[in-house]
């Protein structure tokens, strides 16, 4: 058996399921009518409800940037909830980048 790899099953094979719960970093730019409509505060509420860390801020070009870290499933939920929630009619487009986590934030906040 591999040294240091968990094996809760006891059947001689290491349990690699922990690899699928690794933390990831998501950077997303939302464009459309996303400033001045409560978008950042909605993103903050959604991110906190999912246990994500990171921040959201307005960008000078009129878009909103969100950077989130957490479990991949929670990050995907964040994207879905933003796309289908109360802000859906304000979003014209979004650009997503998946990055390595940095651990820079302990919680989620709105940046000004």
Q: Which residues belong to the active site?
A: 40, 58
d(CA 46, CA 40): 10
Between the CA of residue 85 and those of 8, 23, 78, 79, 81, what are the distances in Å?
A: 39, 24, 10, 10, 5
């Amino acid at each position: 058996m591999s040294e240091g790899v968990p094996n809760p099953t006891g059947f001689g094979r290491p349990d690699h399921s922990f690899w699928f719960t690794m933390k990831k970093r998501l950077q997303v730019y939302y464009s459309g009518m996303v400033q001045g409509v409560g978008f950042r505060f909605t993103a903050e509420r959604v991110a906190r409800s999912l246990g994500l860390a990171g921040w959201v801020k307005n960008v000078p070009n009129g878009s909103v940037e969100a950077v989130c870290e957490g479990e991949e499933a929670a990050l995907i939920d964040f994207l879905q909830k933003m796309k289908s929630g109360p802000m859906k009619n304000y979003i014209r487009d979004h650009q997503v980048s998946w990055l390595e986590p940095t651990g820079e934030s302990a919680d989620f906040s709105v940046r000004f």
